[in-house]
Amino acid sequence: MAKLRLGVIGAGSWTVASLLPNLANHRDEIEFVGVARKGPELLAKIRDQYGFQVASEDYRDVIDAGVDIVVVASPTGLHHEHAKAALEAGAHVMCEKPVTIDPADAWDLVDTAKRVDRELIISFGWNYLPMMKQAKQLMEDVGIGQLEHLAIHMQSATRELLSNTGAYPGAAPEAVPEEATWTDPRLSGGGYGQAQLCHALGFALWLADARVESAYAILGKGAFPDAPVELHDAVALTYEGGVVGTMSGASCHIGAYGNKHGLEMRAMGSDGQVAVDLEREWIWLYRPDGTDLRPDLPEDAGLYNCDGPIEALVDAGMGRLERNWSPGELGARTVEVLDLLYKSARSGQRESRV
């Protein structure tokens, strides 16, 4: 079978540190056709390192080169334009999170992917970990009945990133994160919510199969009152079906827990309850009928990587994708929550989707 023609739109720090090396692991199936980013010096370096045939500051040159699969890793505010162009050109797309800033744009991408019969994969890397797949299977095979309450918490080392005083651990040293990508709301949509809680939502809404109805949010900047965006979030949420819940996120200190993300959810249902803690590698599903499931998990089972979405993109291009564990619909649901979060923070009121 001919190699898949790859296009990459947006090659910033995370793309250089993670996405491109993961793609390079598939050189026997991928032809590196086109890459687009701003800045001719680093663009040329990436072109030479990976052997891209086309390297341009205009993403349209990548699309016009002819692509089968596309990674969209540009700033969030540009995702809709870039991902829609790639889908309509006939490519399967892996889009970085959050998929868009505006929920309407996210649902438009979902509709576009369906119309052109292409996969839209969101880069929720945790969803592809064996631990997460096991938790999802337990929720589908055993379950907790009708969802009643959902609590979500996350912490990650983003104090420096979101206060414009430094980078995040793991950033590629040759491609320091551009401040505007993370802290200019016109491009990022916000701070910790957009940068990290999108991951937490992609994890929790996937497991609990929930969709938000309303949010009341309080945002904080902590020790950085002049930061352009928030570093901490506290949110009260309601979901369809009368479900209530909470979500919190915090920018922790570099070095804490070995820079491992803290991410957990607890869900209460009519027939039981479940807890999933990625930091401590823990799953517990309990039902009063005698079900008490606590699978043994290896050390670092919850350690983040973005291998899974790249694997899914390649599998989609090769026609062998069995299941999309981070579909566009899930991405759109996360954007709905984030949109209400920031609307509520601005208005000081509870904001509703419907």
pLDDT tens for 106-139 read 999 999 999 999 999 999 999 999 999 999 999 9
- Gap between the Cα atoms of 339 and 101, Å rounded: 7
- Residue 145, Ramachandran bin (φ over 0: left; ψ between -120 and 50: alpha; else beta): left
- Gap between the Cα atoms of 56 and 34, Å rounded: 8
pTM, to two decimals: 0.95
261: tokens are 């993300």
pLDDT tens for 185-202 read 888 899 999 999 999 999
Q: Which of 59-73, 127-141, 255-269 has the lowest mean pLDDT?
A: 255-269
**Which structural domains are found in the chain, ordered by start?**
4-124+309-326 (3.40.50.720), 127-304+333-352 (3.30.360.10)
Does residue 69 contact residue 317 with C-beta atoms inside 8 Å?
yes
175: tokens are 């491609």
Average pLDDT of the residues of the chain? 95
